[in-house]
């Protein structure tokens, strides 16, 4: 399933400001981002540790704001038969920058699900930790 941008709808509730990074590749609002070896951020890949959720769309070399720890953020949440998302599940990076329920508890987890999406790959809320 391809990722559809949530730009303009990545509403967050939290006292903490967005963090500034430079994009390496195309990133969509609502995607989980992770750091790469060059200090830039890319869309999250399977089971990686996420930094937070992108606030808006960006392409390679552009600045991007990332909502990090302490914020409750809308994002896309997916699951598999082994990792069905439930409220308060730990989340890790899934394919294409989706959040997914962690199959191994807190290993590589960067947040917890606050509100489940109504469908797999739909919009839910996480607390970025």
Lowest mean pLDDT among 80-84, 104-108, 113-117: 80-84
Residues above pLDDT 70, as percent of the chain: 89
Model pTM score: 0.87
- Dihedral sign, Cα of residue 127, residue 8, residue 100, residue 113: positive
- The greatest distance separating any two alpha carbons of the chain, rounded to the nearest whole angstrom, comes to 37
Residue with tokens 């939290």: 14
Read off the pLDDT band of 7 (50, 70, 90): low
Lowest mean pLDDT among 20-24, 62-66, 78-82: 78-82
Question: What is the end-to-end Cα distance of the chain in Å, rounded?
Answer: 26
């Amino acid at each position: 399933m391809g990722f559809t941008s949530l730009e303009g709808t990545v509403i967050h509730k939290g006292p903490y400001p967005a963090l500034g990074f430079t994009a390496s590749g195309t990133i969509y609002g609502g995607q989980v981002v992770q750091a790469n070896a060059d200090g830039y951020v890319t869309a999250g890949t399977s089971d990686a540790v996420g930094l937070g959720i992108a606030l808006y769309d960006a392409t390679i070399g552009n600045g991007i704001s990332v909502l990090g720890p302490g914020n409750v953020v809308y994002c896309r949440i997916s699951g598999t038969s082994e990792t069905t998302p439930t409220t308060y599940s730990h989340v890790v990076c899934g394919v294409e920058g989706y959040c997914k329920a962690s199959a191994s508890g807190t290993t590589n987890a960067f947040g917890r699900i606050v509100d489940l999406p109504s469908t797999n790959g739909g919009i839910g809320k996480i607390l970025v930790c």
